[in-house]
Amino acid sequence: MAQVAVTLKILPENPNIKLEEIGEATRQILNKHGKIANIRIQPIAYGINAIVFTFIMDESKGGTEKIEEEIRKIKGISDVSVDDVTRLTEEF
């Protein structure tokens, strides 16, 4: 099976939430399911920033619903959304 690059956007509940803590907890979850390719901070509005993770996972593992559910359980997270899923043509 092929690999896919998945981009997840994670929004904190409010601007006072420490993104480092959310980021570390998310990193631990994603590392169980694939390989993290990129992490960036994206300004949203009113001082709120999102953490955007791009990670690589094997397509045979199915969708991202279970991963999203795990991430939503992290304290301080308001929302998790999949921004993009791209099938890779080469081994990453």
What is the CATH classification number for the domain harbouring 31?
Answer: 3.30.70.60
pLDDT in tens, 19-52: 999 999 999 999 999 999 999 999 998 888 999 9
> Nearest-CA neighbor of 10 among 60, 76, 61?
76
Residue 19 lies in a domain: yes
Average pLDDT over residues 79-91: 89
**What pLDDT does residue 91 have?**
63
In the chain, the number of structural domains is 1
| Domain carrying residue 62 | 3-87
Note every long-range contact of 38-45, with CB atoms under 8 Å and residues 24 or more positions apart, other chains counting: 42/9, 44/11
- What's the confidence (pLDDT) of residue 37? 95
pLDDT at 42: 95
Return the closest-CA partner of residue 44 out of 54, 32, 52: 52
Specify if 92 maps to a domain: no
Residue 44 lies inside a defined structural domain of this protein: yes
Res. 90: pLDDT tops 80: no
